[in-house]
Structure formats: C-alpha cells, structure tokens
Amino acid sequence: MPISDVLEPKLLDQLFGAVVAQVNQSIAAGTTAQSSITIRGSSGSGNADHTPVVGEIWLCVTPGAAGSENQYTNWDVFQVSGSPTATSLTFGSRTVVSTRAAGDLCFVLNRTTGINQFGNVPLLGKLFAGLSTAGAQATIAAGSDTNTLPQGTINITQTGGTFPATGNVIIVTELGEQEIAYTGLTGSNPNVTALTGCTGGTGKIDTGDTLYLVPTAAAILTNEPTSTGLYARVSLVNNAAQFGAATGSYPASKNNATQITWPQSNAAWSSGATGLDVAFLADSSTLAGGNIVTWWYVTPAQTVNAANITPNLPAATGFVQTLL
C-alpha cells in the first residue's frame, strides 16, 4: 500500500495559505541601517496573518505582473530579532538589499529554534525515515462480497495491526482506492470482524479486496519505537540521488532511489514482536517528534524482536506520493 491519497496537514498548510503578510512601506534598494519593516495582512490591510517570532527566517519578494504573479523579483531574507509585532518585522540592523514596496509578499522560510519547525516553504536539507506500528490491515470478508459502497457495515478479516475504535480506511477496489470513515468495530483486535457506522466510497467491493487503516500523524509518532535496541531514524539527504524526479500525473509518484537501511538492533526494539508496518519521512531526527512529511505501508511488516536484525527497504519500494 502506498501512502494515503492526501498530503499530510503540514504540507497542505505549505501549499495553501503560505503568504503570511505584505510589506507596508517603501524602501529603496541598498538602504543601510534598517532594523524594521512595516507589515500588514496578506489581503492588504490590518495585522499580519502571522506575528513574526524571534528566530524565524522571513522572505520578502515582489510578485510579478498579471500572468506571472508567482514569478518573484527583489528577494530579501531577514532573521527576526528584537521586538517584532503584528505590524512590524524587526531584525538586526543591516542593509536592505532590494527595493521594497507596499504589497510585496512575505513568507516564513524556517526557524532557528524548536525542532526543525519548517515554515511555509519546505527548504528541508534532510529528511528522516522512521518506522511505526500504527498500521492495520484486513481483507473484505464474504459477508460483504459484491456489496456496493457506501455500506453502513463492512465485514472484514483482520490480517494485522490494531484498528482504533473510530477512524478512516482505504479499500482497494476495481475502481481504485476508496476512502471510508467508520465509527465502530464488531469484535476486538486482533480479531475485528466488521467496521460499523461506515460512510463514503463508491462502487462494488469483493471478497479479498485489501483494506488499510489510514493512521493519523499523531498515531504514527505515538507508535514509533523508542531508542531501546538502538532504534533511530535514518538521516537522508534530500537530493535527487535519494528521491528521483516524480513521474506521471494523477497520481504523480516518487520513490526512494536508494535503499533505506535502519541501524542493526542490539536487542529487541520497544515494539518487540509487534510488526513495524508503517514507514514515514519526518523533518526531525527526534523520536516521536517533528512533522510527518509522508508515510506508507511496509510489506511485509518489519519485526525487530532480537539483536542483529537490520530492517531495510530496497530502492523503489518505499512510497508513492499522490498529488490531488
């Protein structure tokens, strides 16, 4: 199973809603001894949408004319210091390199404090691959054979993982992936026999169709192993050698171009005999921390229940990112 058909929330926030303010004054290029710039809301008035925070890196640019609005000129980068407010971007006294004008756009690039809290433009030099036990899988059982979605109850044969009391699943059908929300379970883990209160989806489902839980980012992080047994996230340079160019369109796909290998265990990892069935990429090396960038199912699940086990994912078997 590739990753879910939607981007993680952090990436959605970067794609949509990225502009956080506008410049609200004119400054000539090369003006020296500037320590602040007046800013306003992204729609052209009021306070900035996001109040600058000390340590953030802000980018100010001039948008292009009609037809080239997203082609920027007059780039300037500022590190926030001093006493910023919702109407004033403050920084250490310096020359403003480019011409600034009212209406120039402002973006937050990154932060120098916190755990890799990237801003509205994901300039990530490294990504960190982790593993989690957050997944759950099943197949459609005979009781739901040839049923047409949506169905209030979907009969399943659980094949692995733990289904939460409520959640979302994807069923792989002849019409493609169907996302279903459910509000209850019949039976209990590891022998759940049906999802109840189901909504969503279209088309026919058949016995044996694969069903996957869609874990939340919080669940993925909560179910990541601890450092017991030498578990650690794998640091990956975010370059074309690691992640080749995307191919196709709807879905556009991108895979790991090289094998991802986790540290060899010196004891059972904290997950023990529970299969690590979800892999993910995050923006931080901190276990159970950072932001999930993307995730995907590991098939077969990795079990690290002793020393001298080295989980790995071969090249081109990691993930597919579907862009809507």
Q: Give the residue from 156, 181, 213 where a domain finishes.
A: 213
Q: Is there a domain that residue 10 lies in?
A: no
Q: Is residue 240 domain-shared with residue 287, that is, in the same domain? A: yes
Give the residue, 13 or 82, on which the prediction is more confident.
82
Which residue range forms the structural domain that includes residue 188? 136-213
pLDDT of residue 112: 63
In this prediction, residue 202 has a pLDDT band, given cuts at 50, 70 and 90, of: very high
* Pair of tokens at residue 303: 């079990």
pLDDT tens for 54-110 read 989 999 999 998 878 888 999 999 999 999 999 999 999 988 889 999 999 999 887
In this prediction, residue 4 has a pLDDT band, given cuts at 50, 70 and 90, of: very low
Instruction: Report the distance separating Cα 87 and Cα 101, nearest Å.
Output: 15
Q: Is there a domain that residue 143 lies in?
A: yes
Q: Is there a domain that residue 145 lies in?
A: yes
Q: Is residue 227 domain-shared with residue 190, that is, in the same domain? A: no
Residue 218 clears pLDDT 60, i.e. is over it: yes
Q: Is there a domain that residue 60 lies in?
A: yes
Q: Is residue 36 domain-shared with residue 107, that is, in the same domain? A: yes
Q: Is residue 238 domain-shared with residue 276, that is, in the same domain? A: yes
Q: Is residue 34 domain-shared with residue 69, that is, in the same domain? A: yes
Q: Is residue 239 domain-shared with residue 181, that is, in the same domain? A: no
pLDDT of residue 115: 46
Q: Is residue 221 domain-shared with residue 305, that is, in the same domain? A: yes
Q: Is residue 207 domain-shared with residue 284, that is, in the same domain? A: no
Q: Is there a domain that residue 322 lies in?
A: no
Q: Is residue 226 domain-shared with residue 207, that is, in the same domain? A: no
| CA distance readout (Å), 24 to 74, 88, 217 | 15, 9, 37
pLDDT tens for 118-137 read 566 666 678 889 999 999 99
Q: Is residue 23 domain-shared with residue 106, that is, in the same domain? A: yes
What total number of domains does the chain contain? 3
Q: Is residue 193 domain-shared with residue 242, that is, in the same domain? A: no
Residue 324 clears pLDDT 60, i.e. is over it: no
pLDDT tens for 268-300 read 999 999 999 999 988 888 899 988 888 888 888
Q: Is there a domain that residue 181 lies in?
A: yes
